[in-house]
Chains A and B, each alone.
Chain A
Amino acid sequence: MAFTNEQIERYSRHIILKEVGVKGQKKLLDSSVLIIGAGGLGAPAAMYLAAAGVGTIGIADADEVDLSNLQRQIIHATKDLGKAKVISAKETMEAMNPDVKVNTYRTFVSADNITELIKDYDFIIDGTDNFPAKFLINDACVMAKKPFSHAGIIRFQGQLMTYVPGEGPCYRCIFKNPPPKDAVPTCKQAGVIGAMGGVIGSLQAMEAIKYIVGIGKLLTGSLLTYDALSMEFRKIKLPKKVKDCPVCGDEPTILKLIDYEQAECDGAL
């Protein structure tokens, strides 16, 4: 498929980059990314991926837009209050870029639906707000051999890492099991600075783009942490492989997806 004149102009700042070029832009247009959670992380990630011309973007979330979301979830606007987040997100992305096909899944992920949800996508972005979902996404992606970006944000801090099958540890290599319900504070309890989602969600979009285009070095085998108050980024090196990891290790003991008890996040963070 040849680019139209509009596409050449729209993506000109990508195409001029020697690392991207026409070939890289074509890869983006042919690619598909699933974003789980249309919230603080998913909003900026979805917008940058739509603007970049990722051809198919899936967005999964069961919630509606709430007034307390708008301090950071920039894909939604005041006019969208009460609307399903996936619809609001789809409208924003389609308004940004008609090249993008947006698939909406108005559901929370569970052991029953996640394998089917991720199967047609090249890259997955975890923008969820709770540990049961984070472990589920990790395990499902490890089992289905799908690359994904993990991220978490709270207060003035954020972290992210990228999993690519066979190229580094998974989330469960670092954190063996979800913390007990309510043991670790959520954003609703502890707060989060709105721009944190912008910083970390944009970095997730950056990892997806690099993976798709096939350039640079991904955050595989390292965890990037960001502290906004001290304005410090730290890249913490992780072991290449954790042999006794219960899901990606040499002798995995987790062979079935698990629905952990939902932490107290009640979805509306």
Chain B
Amino acid sequence: MNNMKVTVSGESREYENGITLLELVEAENVEMPEYVTASVNDELLGYHDFEKTVLKDGDVIEFLYFMGGGCI
């Protein structure tokens, strides 16, 4: 099985070819993934897209988290 290289939150990572974004989210221990938006290359994806998104070599993935506090 070939591995592929992807960039996750600015760091290079090696994963099995053909994993989905949902599998990546689990492997990366992303907290509360259902409220996370992912950016894959230049596209924003919500949680319901994670399972159908198959990652490929060279993909650049970022996770965007809800941050609510301004602490009034």
A residues in contact (CB < 8 Å) with B: 37-42, 61, 63, 72-73, 85, 126-131, 134, 151-154, 157-159, 173-176, 179, 183-184, 186-187, 190, 192, 197, 223, 234, 236-239, 242, 263, 265, 267-269
Q: Which of B64, B68, B72 contacts A184 (CB 8 A)?
A: B68
Contact: B67 with A152, CB < 8 Å? yes
Q: Report how far A36 CA is from B44 CA in the complex, Å.
A: 28
B39: A residues at CB distance < 8 A: 236-239
CB distance from A9 to the nearest CB of B (A): 34
CB distance from B54 to the nearest CB of A (A): 20
Contact: B68 with A152, CB < 8 Å? yes
Q: Report how far A154 CA is from B67 CA in the complex, Å.
A: 7
Q: Which of B10, B42, B68 contacts A130 (CB 8 A)?
A: B68
Q: Which of A158, A187, A242, A267 contacts B44 (CB 8 A)?
A: A242
Q: Report how far A179 CA is from B66 CA in the complex, Å.
A: 8
Contact: A154 with B32, CB < 8 Å? no
CB distance from B2 to the nearest CB of A (A): 28
Q: Which 5 A-B pairs have the closest CB atoms?
A: A152-B67, A40-B71, A39-B72, A187-B69, A41-B70
Interface SS majority for chain B = loop
CB distance from A19 to the nearest CB of B (A): 28
Contact: B35 with A236, CB < 8 Å? no
Residue B43 interfacial (CB < 8 Å): yes
Residue of B nearest to A157 (CB): B67
Q: Report how far A131 CA is from B37 CA in the complex, Å.
A: 15
CB distance from A209 to the nearest CB of B (A): 19
Q: Report how far A154 CA is from B65 CA in the complex, Å.
A: 11
B residues in contact (CB < 8 Å) with A: 9-10, 32, 35, 37, 39, 42-44, 46, 62, 64-72
CB distance from A265 to the nearest CB of B (A): 7
Contact: B68 with A129, CB < 8 Å? yes
Contact: A41 with B68, CB < 8 Å? no
Q: Report how far A127 CA is from B44 CA in the complex, Å.
A: 25
12 A-B pairs in the complex with CB atoms less than 8 angstroms apart: A63-B72, A126-B70, A151-B70, A152-B70, A158-B67, A184-B32, A184-B35, A186-B68, A234-B10, A237-B62, A239-B42, A239-B44
Contact: A269 with B67, CB < 8 Å? no
B67: A residues at CB distance < 8 A: 152-154, 157-159
Q: Which of B64, B68, B72 contacts A154 (CB 8 A)?
A: B68
Q: Report how far A131 CA is from B67 CA in the complex, Å.
A: 9
CB distance from A80 to the nearest CB of B (A): 15
